[in-house]
Chains A and B, each alone.
Chain A
């Protein structure tokens, strides 16, 4: 990506941002920009900002710039950056927090990923376990209808091989009421300020 210049003004900066996005703000503030995270990241090449650049933007508190980028959406949670970070920054967990925050503020750039995670959450709520076919149908229904075409052949192969069943209720657990109660309780706790 081409170099980008920011004219920093006081009202652009949000110094509380780092507090919100990482479990250990002190560590993130010690990032020395060595770039080990970026060198380790299998998807950095496709990111608007590499992980290294992202930490700097967070240090500066450039909230909107961070939250509207595609960077954290491409994090696969492979934990190589976390493993190697010289400063012990919880890089991967920070990426997850950014995903949650971007959705809660309606800033998600790669909405396909966000819709996928939500479809996953909703499928598990209904059955207690994941039903892959229902997940894919829900996801493609909500996010990218056309994208489904690329997967129909694979879906057929999986079905022919006996790998997937079309009956979602077959995966239902007995403790579905427990799962529903857990989901509700979590929603209640997370709604608290």
Chain B
């Protein structure tokens, strides 16, 4: 299967490991991500807080470009996913919006008719490609590895289009498919604080601390959102100092974990870019 692919801005920088591993893993699984040409920022959470119309128009430009390509538009970022998906939802819900959007996109020589299907990469891997296909590619045994499936909020909320909006299971099934064990975790979709880590750090730190504390006992956390990965991975040093407990929990993108199971190298998965080192995890894998 071929998909149009929009990696999103974070995947060009702080989450490059996600982009690289996502492309490699999907290729291994026999599908293809064709990057949407000249895509733009979807607006993340920020734009809706300053302008409603811009929060529709920015993702809609990408949708208009993808509509021409006539393939599902896949994104690996949960914020991009929500913003793109929301445009379709709003066009159905607000009859007046189509006219306004037409007027705005016309200045860019574009038109969006609301026909592009928006998909999260997790949905594609779990439901199009499927658990059996993933299991059949496994070359390296991950058995014994306890993995926290952390979905984050916008991966499944509010629409719950392809999985449960509160306690989803698609990532759990993929973790099992590669022989690892999903760690029981009730905070699968609890918010990581998103941008509060920058604007109101004390609150962001407290949310992330709670998520990390609940993950103790597991070997690593996996996630499918660049923001979640960054928040959980980058502040563990500071949190350890604050709490007086040493926390060193590797936080991988789901596609990095799948890639390891498929026998891809650390380099191919850019694992060296993760902030908490994954070397201990790799040693553990060699011994099983």
- Taking Cβ atoms with an 8 Å cutoff, the residues of A that contact B are 23, 42-43, 46, 73-74, 76-80, 82-83, 92, 96-97, 99-100, 103, 110, 112-114, 116-118, 120-121, 124, 128-132, 136, 139, 147, 150-151, 154, 157-158, 161-165, 171, 173-175, 178-179, 181-186, 189-190
- On chain A, the residues within 8 Å of B158 by CB distance are 79, 82-83, 92
Please give, as numbers and ranges, the residues of chain B lying within 8 Å of A124 by CB-CB distance: 40-41, 43, 47, 58
A189 to B234, CA, bound (A): 40
CB pairs A–B below 8 angstroms (24 shown): A74-B200, A76-B196, A77-B154, A78-B154, A83-B165, A99-B50, A103-B50, A113-B195, A116-B199, A117-B47, A121-B51, A124-B41, A128-B40, A132-B13, A154-B235, A161-B273, A164-B13, A175-B38, A175-B108, A178-B107, A178-B108, A186-B54, A189-B104, A190-B53
Measured between beta carbons, the chain A residues less than 8 angstroms from B68 are none
10 A-B pairs with least C-beta separation: A78-B191, A178-B108, A78-B153, A120-B46, A130-B9, A79-B157, A79-B158, A181-B107, A99-B49, A117-B46
Chain B count of residues within 8 A CB distance of the other chain: 60
Q: For the complex, would chain A's binding face be called helix, strand, loop or mixed by DSSP majority?
A: helix
* Cross-chain contact of A100 among B44, B49, B157, B200 (Cβ < 8 A): B49
Question: In angstroms, how far is the closest chain B Cβ from the Cβ of A175?
Answer: 5
Which secondary structure dominates chain B's binding surface? loop
Q: Do A163 and B191 have beta carbons less than 8 Å apart?
A: no
A75 to B133, CA, bound (A): 39
Tell me the nearest residue of chain A to B12, going by C-beta. Answer: A171
Which residues in B have their C-beta under 8 angstroms from that of A151? 198
Residue B46 contacts which of A112, A116, A165, A179 (CB distance < 8 angstroms)?
A116
Contacts known (A46-B203, A82-B158, A157-B275); A139 close to B198, Cβ less than 8 A: yes
Name the residue on B nearest A115 (C-beta).
B199
Interface contact B46-A186, CB-CB below 8 Å: no
CB atoms of A120 and B100 under 8 A apart: no
Contact B51 A186 (CB under 8 A): yes
Q: Chain B contacts of A158 at CB under 8 A?
A: 14, 234
Residues B233-288 near A (CB distance < 8 A): 234-235, 272-273, 275
Are B14 and A116 within 8 A (Cβ)? no
Count, A-B residue pairs, CB within 8 A: 179
CA–CA, A131 and B157, complex, Å: 26
Instruction: Give Cα A82–Cα B234 distance, bound, in whole angstroms.
Output: 29
- Which A residues are in CB contact (< 8 Å) with B153? 76-80
Give Cα A101 to B58, complex, Å.
21
Q: How far is the CA of A130 from the CA of B38 in the complex (A)?
A: 13
Q: Return the chain B residue nearest A150 by Cβ.
A: B201
Q: A100-B50, A117-B50 are in contact. Are A132 and B109 (CB under 8 A)?
A: no
Q: Are B198 and A116 in contact (CB under 8 A)?
A: yes
Instruction: Give Cα A173 to B45, complex, Å.
Output: 21
Do residues A182 and B108 form an inter-chain contact, with CB atoms below 8 A?
A: yes
Neighbouring B residues of A164 by C-beta, 8 Å: 13-14
Q: Is B137 in the interface zone, CB < 8 Å from A?
A: no
Contact of B157 among A83, A162, A179 (CB under 8 A): A83
CB pair B58–A173 under 8 Å, yes or no, is no
Chain A residues, CB < 8 A from B51: 100, 121, 186, 190
Q: A74-B203, A79-B154, A182-B108 are in contact. Are A129 and B46 (CB under 8 A)?
A: no
Residues B1-40 near A (CB distance < 8 A): 9-10, 12-16, 38-40
